[in-house]
Amino acid sequence: MKDTPIKRHLIDQTISEFQIVDFSKATIREVKAIAAKAEAASGVEFIKMEMGVPGLPASAVGVKAEIEALQNGIASLYPDINGLPELKQEASRFIKAFINVDLKAEGCVPVTGSMQGTFASFLTCSQCNEEKDTILFIDPGFPVQKQQLLVMGQKYETFDVYDYRGEKLQAKLESYLQKGNISAIIYSNPNNPSWICLNDEELRIIGQLATRYDVIVLEDLAYFAMDFRENLSTPFEAPYQPTVAHYTDNYILLISGSKAFSYAGQRIGVSCISDKLYHRSYPGLTKRYGGGTFGTVFIHRVLYALSSGTSHSAQFAMAAMLKAANDGEYNFLDEVKVYGERAHRLKEIFLRHGFHLVYDNDLGKPIADGFYFTIGYPGMTSGELAKELMYYGVSAISLVTTGSHQEGLRACTSFIGEHQYAELDRRMSLFAENHPLK
Domains of the chain: 8-52+333-434 (3.90.1150.100), 60-326 (3.40.640.10)
Q: Across residues 187-194, what is the average pLDDT?
A: 95
Report the pLDDT value the prediction gives residue 53, as an integer from 0 to 100.
Answer: 83
Q: What angle do CA 367, 373, 376 make, to 5 degrees?
A: 105
Asked if pLDDT for residue 52 goes beyond 90, the answer is no
- Res. 438 pLDDT band, cuts 50 70 90: confident
Q: Across residues 410-414, what is the average pLDDT?
A: 95
The DSSP bridge pattern shows strands 47-48 and 394-395 to be: parallel
β-bridge partners, 270: 110, 255
The DSSP bridge pattern shows strands 108-111 and 269-273 to be: antiparallel
DSSP state, residue 23: G
pLDDT above 70: percentage of residues in the chain: 100
Task: Give 121-175 as a DSSP string.
Answer: HHHHHHTS-TT--EEEEEES--HHHHHHHHHHT-EEEEEEGGG--TTHHHHHHHH
Q: Across residues 96-118, what is the average pLDDT?
A: 97
- Res. 101 pLDDT band, cuts 50 70 90: very high
- The average confidence (pLDDT) of the chain is 96
Instruction: List, for residues 146-176, the tens digit of each pLDDT value.
Output: 999 999 999 999 999 999 999 999 999 999 9
Instruction: List, for residues 222-243, the tens digit of each pLDDT value.
Output: 999 999 999 999 999 999 999 9
Helix (H, G, I), strand (E, B) or coil at 237: coil
Residue closest to 409 by CA, chosen among 384, 436, 434: 384
Helix (H, G, I), strand (E, B) or coil at 333: helix
In terms of C-beta density within 10 A (0-12 exposed, 13-18 middle, 19 or more buried), how is residue 241 classed?
Answer: buried
Q: Residue 1, Cα to own-chain centre: how many angstroms? A: 39
- Residue environment code for 318-355, b if the CB has 16+ CB neighbours within 10 A, otherwise e: bbbbbbbbbeeebebbebbeebbebbeebbebbeebeb
pLDDT above 90: percentage of residues in the chain: 95
Instruction: List, for residues 301-352, the tens digit of each pLDDT value.
Output: 999 999 989 999 999 999 999 999 999 999 999 999 999 999 999 999 999 9
Q: Across residues 367-384, what is the average pLDDT?
A: 95
Report the pLDDT value the prediction gives residue 54, as an integer from 0 to 100.
Answer: 86
- Res. 55 pLDDT band, cuts 50 70 90: confident
